[in-house]
Chains A and B, each alone.
Chain A
Amino acid sequence: MVSSRFLQWFHRLGSPRGFYEISGKWLPWLSLVTLVLVVTGLVWGLGYAPQDAKQGNSFRIIYIHVPAAFLALAGYYVMAVAGAIGLIWRMKLSYMVMKAAAPLGAALTFISLFTGALWGKPTWGTYWVWDARITSMLVLFFLYLGVLALHYAYTNKDAANKAAAVLALVGTVNIPIIYKSVDWWYTLHQPATIKLTGGTSMHPDMLQPLLVMIIGFYCFYVLSLVLFTRAEILHRERRTRWVGDLAGAGRGGN
C-alpha cells in the first residue's frame, strides 16, 4: 500500500513549483555524489587502470566515451517519454523536462562523437568513418538539435511542445538501430563489451573504473537535467506569484 503522504508528495513533485522546491533540496547531495563519482572514476581510469594490450593508453578515452554514449542513448528515452507524458496527460512539467533533455542529450552525443573521433585516430588511423554506429549517433545528435529547434520555431507554446514531442517520439526508432548496428551490419566500431546478461570481455581492473564512471554519468545526467528543468520552470512560470516571491522584490506577478 502506498501511503497517502507519499502520493501527496509525488503529486506535488509533478507541478512546476513543487518540482522546483523539492529538487532544490536534493541538489547539494546530488552534486556531491556526482562530483565524487566522476572524479574518482577519472583519476582511476586515467592513472590506475592498466593500458590496453593492443591500443595502449588511448584506451583510456573509454572512461568518458562509453558513459557519455550510454547517457546519450538513455537520455533520448527520457526525452521521448517526457514528450509522451506531455502529449497524453498534457502535463506542463513533463514538457519542460523534455525541453531540458534536448541540449543535455545533444552535448552528451557530441562528447561521445568527439572522444570517439580522437580515439579512432590512433586506433583505426581515422577520425571519422561512415559506419552504421557512428552515422546513427550523428543522426541522434541532429534529432536532439531538431527537438530543441522546434521549440523556437513556433510562437505558440502548445504547438511547439507538441511538435517537439512528436519528433522526439518518432526518433526513438533510431535508438535500437544504434544499439544493434554493430551486430546487424559490418562496422568498424567494435561490438558491445558490456552486456546486460552474462559476463563481459573486459578485465576487471579496466571494467571497475568504467562502471564507476557510468554510474557517475547517470548522476551527472540527473543533476544537469534538474538544473535545465529548473531554469525552464523559472522562465515559463515567470509571471506567477511564487516566482516573483522567489526573485524577492515584494509583490510578485498575477
Chain B
Amino acid sequence: MAFQFDSARDFLIMSGHGPFVWAAYGVSLLVLIYLVAGPLLRARARLREIRQQNAAQNRRRKTAGPDAASDAPAANR
C-alpha cells in the first residue's frame, strides 16, 4: 500500500477537503485526550486533597496532645 499523496502540501490540502478532514480529526483528538487526561488529573487532585486534609488532621491531633480527647470528626462533605 502506497502513501496516497504526492507531497506534504497535498496531504494537508486533501484535494480541497482539508479543512473538513483536519477539523474533524483535530477536534476529535482533543476530545479523546481530554477523556484520558481529565479523569487522571481529577484522581490526582482528589488524592492531593485527601493528603492535605489528613496532614491537617494529624497536625491538630499532635497539638492537642496524645491524652486529649479525640478531635471532632472532620466536616462532612
Contacts and interface: CB of A to CB of B under 8 A. Distances in A.
Contacts of B51: 247-249
Interface stretch (A56-64, A88-96, A179-187, A192-200): A56-64
Given A107-B35, A227-B43, A244 B25 contact: no
A107 B58 contact: no
Given A58-B20, A58-B21, A64-B24, A50 B31 contact: no
Contacts of B2: 48
A229 to B, nearest CB: 8
A104 interface: yes
A227 B39 contact: yes
Interface size class of A (residues with CB under 8 A): 35 or more
B4 A238 contact: no
Interface string A110-134: 1100110011011000000000000
B9 interface: no
Interface of B is mostly: helix
B3 A48 contact: yes
A68 B25 CA distance: 12
A58 B17 contact: yes
29 contacts: A38-B32, A46-B21, A47-B3, A49-B1, A49-B4, A50-B4, A56-B16, A57-B18, A58-B20, A58-B21, A60-B14, A61-B20, A64-B24, A65-B24, A68-B28, A100-B39, A111-B28, A111-B32, A114-B28, A115-B27, A118-B24, A121-B20, A224-B35, A238-B46, A246-B47, A247-B48, A247-B51, A251-B58, A252-B54
Contact of B31 (A51, A107, A121): A107
Interface of A is mostly: helix
B40 interface: yes
B15 interface: yes
Interface residues of B, number: 39
B31 A111 contact: yes
B20 to A, nearest CB: 4
Nearest to B47: A247
A235 interface: yes
Nearest to B57: A251
Interface of A: 38, 42, 46-51, 56-58, 60-61, 64-65, 68, 100, 103-104, 107, 110-111, 114-115, 118-119, 121-122, 205, 220, 223-224, 227-228, 230-231, 234-235, 238, 243-244, 246-253
A231 B50 CA distance: 13
Contacts of B68: none
Nearest to B42: A231
B72 interface: no
Contacts of A100: 39
Contacts of B69: none
A51 B36 contact: no
Nearest to A120: B20
A35 to B, nearest CB: 10
A115 B27 CA distance: 9
B36 A231 contact: no
